């Protein structure tokens, strides 16, 4: 059996991989940051190196 512990952030524009145990939960989705989880309401990105997501 395989246990998945990481997945891509649920934000469509984000390229981050997030540990599911550390993820920001929003509904049934896992996000790498509050900004991604809330849909980037202020235009702020997740601020992880190499990622330019802004929602």
Reported as a single tens digit per residue, the pLDDT across 1-55 is 999 999 999 999 999 999 999 999 999 999 999 999 999 999 999 999 999 998 6
Cβ atoms of 38 and 29 within 8 Å: the answer is no
**Would you state the pLDDT for residue 37?**
97
**Would you state the pLDDT for residue 54?**
86
pTM reported for the whole predicted model: 0.89
Cα–Cα distance, 6 to 14 (Å, whole number): 14
Domain locations along the chain = 6-37
Cα–Cα distance, 19 to 41 (Å, whole number): 24
> In residues, how long is the chain?
55
**Would you state the pLDDT for residue 42?**
92
Cα–Cα distance, 12 to 45 (Å, whole number): 12
């Amino acid at each position: 059996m395989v246990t998945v512990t990481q997945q891509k952030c649920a934000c469509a524009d984000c390229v981050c991989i997030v540990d599911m145990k550390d993820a920001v939960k929003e509904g049934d989705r896992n996000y790498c940051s509050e900004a991604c989880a809330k849909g980037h309401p202020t235009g702020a990105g997740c601020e992880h190196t190499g990622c330019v997501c802004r929602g």
